[in-house]
Amino acid sequence: MSAEELKTMCEKLIKAASAVEVGKVDRLERAVDLIKLLKKTPVTMKLLMETDAAKTLKRLSKHSNTQIATGVSGLIKNWKATVTAEASKQEAQEEKKPKLEIEVKDEDKSKADEEVVKSPTTPAAKPNTGDPQRDKLAVSLCEALAVVLGEVGEDADGLAEPSLVGISIEAAMFRKFGGMTKEYKAKYRSISFNLKDSRNPDLRRKVLSGDISPYTLLTLSSEELGSDSKREANEAIRQHMMRECERGQTTQSSTDQFKCGKCGQRKTIYYQMQTRSADEPMTTFVTCVNCNNRWKFC
């Protein structure tokens, strides 16, 4: 698709959408068809930058007709994902081969041209990182995200294309962790597990709706990635531990090894408790018998 063609399609869509706005309901079908067509049309970062298409269509994402509004916001999300994936891919390639022979460069360029020619016949995006192992992981993320389309049913209009989002998550990971490092693999396992978790449909839906961007996803802790039910279970354990600890005051020991910072006496009682993960040191809670001052340390 050329820049001219894309521009024309955007203009047609704006025209149809404006007609709907002034009450010409019969133009709605045309507008929706154009959105669908645009969604199916493969685009490149270069094309999007040349045409400024996302900016042109942005106001339609607030159109009074929800079909148009959600359709266009989904389309723009797809485009954003395309740009993210492409930018990451480019950066990764630049980092990987800092010094290229001119000959190799030319070869790379012709390959890139081939891709552009090939892409219009490919309906959904396929990962193409040049590393089969990375591609495999990206495909797995795409498949996990594609489940959402079945889960939300008719509300799928505002969602981005799963394959594009999956690819940009993998690309973002590769970039953030500097290759297929240990951190990359650990994060991949955590993200993949939670995206596929049958009790956690919210996470994959939020990722596909753009509420959680690929970059934000990478910054979430495993607890934040987890389902609500898992979070509640963790909270329950924490509460239980607190209660146990309060009830278990008899297990307190008295010692003179701590000095109260308030009154300076050494008459204290203390107890220890595991407040963090099991492999970290316990937290010690100290109470001064003289002035009732309390403090804790790890």
Residue 208, classed as helix, strand or coil, is: helix
Answer for the pair 160, 75: CB distance below 8 angstroms, yes or no. Answer: no
Binding site for Zn ion (CB under 5 A): 260, 262-263, 288, 290-291, 293
Nearest approach in angstroms of CB 291 to Zn ion is 3
Nearest approach in angstroms of CB 261 to Zn ion is 8
Backbone phi and psi for residue 263, each to the nearest 5 degrees, phi listed first: -110, -10
Nearest approach in angstroms of CB 201 to Zn ion is 53
Query: Looking at beta carbons only, is 36 or 294 nearer to Zn ion?
Result: 294
Helix (H) / strand (E) containing 287 = strand 283-288
The rounded radius of gyration (Å) of the Cα atoms in the chain is 27
Query: Looking at beta carbons only, is 57 or 286 nearer to Zn ion?
Result: 286
Nearest approach in angstroms of CB 288 to Zn ion is 3
Inter-axis angle of helices 182-196 and 201-209, to 10 degrees? 110
Give the C-alpha separation, 71 to 60, whole Å: 9
Query: Looking at beta carbons only, is 66 or 254 nearer to Zn ion?
Result: 254
Answer for the pair 164, 81: CB distance below 8 angstroms, yes or no. Answer: yes
Query: Looking at beta carbons only, is 203 or 286 nearer to Zn ion?
Result: 286
Query: Looking at beta carbons only, is 104 or 289 nearer to Zn ion?
Result: 289
Nearest approach in angstroms of CB 287 to Zn ion is 9
